[in-house]
Amino acid sequence: MERRVVVTGIGLVTPLGIGVDETWSALIAGKSGIGEITRFDTTDYGTKIAAEVKGFNAEDFMPKKDAKRTETFIAYAIAAARMAVEDSGLIIDNQNGHRVGVLTGCGLGGLNMLEVTARTVENAGPKRVSPFFIPLIIGNMAPGMISIQFGAKGPNSSVATACAAGAHAIGDAYEIIKYGKADAMITGGVESVITRTCIAGFGAMKALSTRNGDPSRASRPFDKDRDGFVVGEGSGIVILEALDHALARGAKIYAEMAGYGMSGDGYHMTSPPPDGEGAARCMQAAIDDAGIQASQIGYINAHGTSTPLNDLYETRAIKKVFGDIARNVPVSSTKSMTGHLLGGAGGIETVFSTLVLKNGILPPTINLDNPGEECDLDYVPHVARKAEVSYVMTNSFGFGGTNASLILKKYSG
């Protein structure tokens, strides 16, 4: 028997704030978290902007000793997980720990530590390498350390499907609970790679915005003047729980997980197919899994990266799935404010989608001054909109042609 799965806790570390309230307030106010890069000297770089997390102190979420030897992406994940667990009121102990798992997505892992260590080897030799080097760069150390922090001894895994990783992690965790392999999962996405090689690498691909003189307006999904995405960082974690388990302990319920779709483009290393065929199949698979009609979707949190091809091809995919009603479905890209968190995007955007259902407010797409060619959907431009919706879809698409769509529904008992 398949179990119903609900969201009972949420946690956020984002370029818009530390915590759910601070981030959500900034998001619906249309504020940008993008500014000049402070992590390194950008003199020789074409792109000098990113969406950095500000004011984060790892010691607020873990012992000082642990904070000092924890790579940033792991610290963000632990912090968001702590917020989510505390928000949910879930007690994890020796009695139930084996039924609580952790599954997070991350695209690139500890890239900063990798860079630092490469320079150490080059300049000081191999004997100066930290014994923590390997544990601090591997992506699965995020769920591993969360598991250790909370005593969650159920299924423990990580997903590395590029920019779809966070959404895939949540979808996989949903199915783990749905089919009875755990009662609750701590799940989401994380990324922290605002580093020399990351910015250089995406810059070499011509994937990044170079609107350096006006950072807050650089990420402009669906706008005709979009010139690339802006790298962001942070973590979004949700507590997924079997409905019967949540009800038995009197948990508050934010929303219900309703559907999960996956697909592969089989087309190109970095570009989606022009007709959006792979993304369309992914969205349709999520709709079918939820057992609903496309017309029941009241809002789409788009992948919406602000790159010329992605925004156009995702728009075409939405039209393919929704047909004549496509222009009636509100669509927005919160990446216009947070930047693109890569493997962490699906985590924060699932939290945003949950809050849309809870609060009845659709976040805007800022900087959408003049929609690009064929970008003619309702992208909720500039200003948040009140709207009571029953179903929300969130999309995440990654390099290699890997796609994920999640559907959440308003919980009605």
Nearest to 346 by CA among 310, 388, 393, 312: 393
Contact 51, 345 (CB under 8 A): no
Distance CA 51, CA 345 (A): 12
Residue 168: active-site member:
no
| Crossing angle of the two packed helices 141-150 and 72-88, in degrees rounded to 10 | 40
Residue 268: active-site member:
no
Q: Which two tokens stand for residue 201?
A: 């690498």
Distance CA 124, CA 119 (A): 8
Q: Given 168, 245, 340, 375, which residue is catalytic?
A: 340
Q: Given 168, 198, 303, 375, which residue is catalytic?
A: 303
Q: Given 163, 198, 282, 375, which residue is catalytic?
A: 163
Instruction: Report residue 112 CA to chain centroid gap.
Output: 20
Q: How many residues appear in the chain?
A: 413
Number of other residues whose CB lies within 10 A of the CB of residue 46 = 15
Helical (H) or strand (E) element with 19: none
Number of other residues whose CB lies within 10 A of the CB of residue 241 = 29
Distances (CA, A) of 218 to 192, 211, 214, 225, 362: 20, 5, 6, 9, 21
Distance CA 224, CA 240 (A): 38
Residues 6+ apart with CB under 8 A from 355: 10, 20, 24, 254, 361
Distance CA 68, CA 64 (A): 6
Tokens 């000081």 belong to 124
Distance CA 257, CA 241 (A): 10
Task: Please give the positions annotated as active site.
Answer: 163, 303, 340
